Structure 1
Amino acid sequence: MPPSRILDSHIHLWPSTATQPTNHGWMAPGHHLAKRHGISDYRSVANVKRSSSKEEVEEENPIPVSFIYVETDRYLPSSTPEIEEERDSDEEKRRKLSKWASEPLSEVKFLRRIVEGKPEEGDGFAPSDAAWMKGAVLWAPFHLSPSLFSTYLQIAEEVAGPALWARVVGFRYLLQGKAEGEVKRLVESEDWLQNIVSLRDGRGGKGWAFDVGVDTHRDGVEQLEHVGGMIAEVRRREANSGGQGHVRFVLNHLCKHRLPLATPSDPTFVRWRSALTGLAADTSIYMKLSGALNEFDDASPTPDTVQSVIEAVQPFFDAVFANFPGRVMFGSDWPVCNVGGPHGEQGNWKFWVSVVEAWMEERGFEEGSMERVWWRAGSEAYGVEG
């Protein structure tokens, strides 16, 4: 059954003016993604007709699609700003923070132009495109002291303006690609924990979500296990504080396990599944069905048929739906899905939609369960209208 609508919970955008290594440290010259990716480009691929994977019956009106924007890991000149907290004035701290985080703040300015309908050359959107973006997950320096973290959020809010800030639904600080021992050090630090707990007070008491980006494929499953320990500590602090609400955690990309699975007894898979089981009882944790097209290893390129991909992701889908019932959401990871996707820039988004749709049909999902994946779970996790 085709979806009635889609809330794509994970896409990235950047203008043509942000395609250099000085904008994104990972965007080396000649990189596959080193070009503009705007809403107009997304709209050209996110155009799904009202047809079933079993019945090719098209109607004139495409399925409504909206999205959650997720930060793009903008360039930072150093891991921390050169601030002396005991000596620098508040004004000096703001100046140094703004200079150090100039690229993440440029990202905020780009998003502000979107919601205010004021495109500049190379932005890749029309003034009427703002409605496509239901929410934005921004970068924030969770590793800094609570004082500097709070100051950064104040700066970001000023740069964003009221229209964009009202659509900020969460924050992310990528934990993938860190040096050995760094993730454990980060998520167990007092500064990090205080900053995470503070998210529940955002959005006028509605709370901001925290998007979790770990890579068990390349960094090992222990990073996910460290995150599990961090969430447990956050819950302990929330309970002890007597406040209302919990920080919502949204796990990205199935936590990026390597595909395909050689055997169900694979030690990494067993630990990955066990780590998720340890989080299952927490109803404020969600999982994104996203990113899988980039996790096939070099020896097994991404298959180009829906059924072959379903066979590869089946044990992972089974695990996440068992552990997070009603809390699994669709995400495309566009345009990053084009790095490993087998159907080119015009076909990978629709291909992943077809994979998710066909898998749910094979599993006999009822309409209500499908709708939760397509848009309701994402709407709930981020506190937006689907």
Structure 2
Amino acid sequence: MQQRIDSHQHFWKYNPTTHDWIDETMHKIKRDFMPEDLQPLLKENSFSGCVAVQADQTEEETKFLLSLANSNSFIKGVVGWVNLLDKNVADRLRFFSTEKKLKGFRHVVQGEPDGFMLGNDFKNGIKTLTKFGYTYDILIYHHQLPDAITLANLFPNQPFVIDHIAKPNLKTGNIKKWKEDIKELARAENVMCKVSGMVTEAHWDTWTIDDFTPCLDVVFENFTPDRIMFGSDWPVCNVAASYTTVVRTLENYISALTPSEQERIWFGNAKKFYNLEM
């Protein structure tokens, strides 16, 4: 059986203020989600490890995830948060640099105005990440892809990964502009793509695999199995699908690929990108 890594999941101790993005429609995830909740799901679906990604924009979140990673061996890496706009960002990265499981950083750019990633302060933050050897997860909506393309080309030596295939409009199926932009973004060889977060962009109660196939076709044609990794987006996925359902969806889609291609998608690409020790 091939090894697997879940490249994108979250932990939290639910707080109505901190997690105010979880509204009443998402009542299923209005509770704590901790390593003991995830570990059985990983085991059940043949995963040997995971990468915990920030959900809150504080350094306390980074420290919280690192404490979980350092006490749970199956958490192989952490994508944390620092203020990339801070002129002293290098000091903050230096502070965290002794944490071996800290692999990269993310900012919730989907909540920022267009042009945010192209501001001088943010670009300085990315330049500093490169110096320290950290990855960067790009979390955006599809209409922000042009900025991501520019950013990726400005920093060809910075490893980027696009989260949730840049959130195409799965509810309407109108993906023409997203498709053009994904094709352009994939030309930047320093960018990888997480097949993650799709079920929550579709109609939660009525989605079918056919809703995802056109987008998956675009991602696999342009990024190829060499630059794609699986992420569950657990526990957020629970509002629209179980952990196992999310896994089965990708299993079905890639079933015709070669064993080595499948291994890269499930394991090799995430291990290499995040420099994980397995």
TM-score normalised by structure 2 residue count: 0.91
In structure 2, the residue matched to 1:183 is 114
**Where does residue 36 of structure 2 map in the other structure?**
40
Aligned counterparts, 1:130-141, within 5 A? 130-141=72-83
C-alpha deviations, 1:97-134, integer Å up to 9, x for none? xxxxxxx23323323432443xxxxxxxxxxxx21111
- Per-residue deviation at 1:191? 1.5
> 1:21 maps to what in 2?
16
Structure 2: distance between partners of 1:24 and 1:293: 20
Deviations 1:284-308 (A, max 9, x none): 210001001101147xx343xxxx3
Change (3 A) 1:358 1:116: closer
SS at match of 1:20: coil
Task: After TM superposition, give the deviation of residue 28 of structure 1 in Å.
Answer: 5.7
Q: Determine if the alignment matches structure 1 residue 360 to structure 2 residue 260.
A: no
Q: 1:257 aligns with which of 168, 190, 194?
A: 168
1:332 alignment counterpart: 232
Counterpart amino acid of 1:321? F
Letter paired with 1:111: L
Deviation at 1:6, TM superposition (A): 1.3
Q: Which residue of structure 2 aligns with residue 109 of structure 1?
A: 63
SS of equivalent to 2:114: helix
| Corresponding residue of 2:6 | 8
Q: Is the 8 A contact 1:4 1:64 kept in 2?
A: no
Q: Residue type of the partner of 2:92? A: Y
Is 1:151 equivalent to 2:91 in the alignment?
yes
Equivalent position SS for 1:172: strand
Q: Any unmatched runs of 5+ in structure 1? A: 50-62, 75-103, 118-129, 236-245, 342-347
The code of the aligned residue for 1:189 comes to G
Distance 2:177 2:22 in 1: 32
Q: Is the 8 A contact 1:176 1:214 kept in 2?
A: yes
Please report the RMSD computed on the Cα atoms of aligned residues, expressed in angstroms.
Answer: 2.1
Mark the CA change 1:285 to 1:312 in structure 2 (over 3 Å): closer, same or farther: same
- Alpha-carbon displacement from aligned partner over 1:229-257 (angstroms, at most 9, x marks no partner): 1222223xxxxxxxxxx111110001111
Q: Measure the CA separation in 2 of the matches of 1:73 and 1:337.
A: 17
Taking only the aligned residue pairs, the percentage that are identical comes to 26
Give 1 or 2 for the bigger CA radius of gyration: 1
Matched residue SS, 1:169: strand
**Which residue of structure 2 lines up, in the alignment, with residue 370 of structure 1?**
262
Change (3 A) 1:116 1:352: closer
Q: CA deviation at 1:154?
A: 4.0
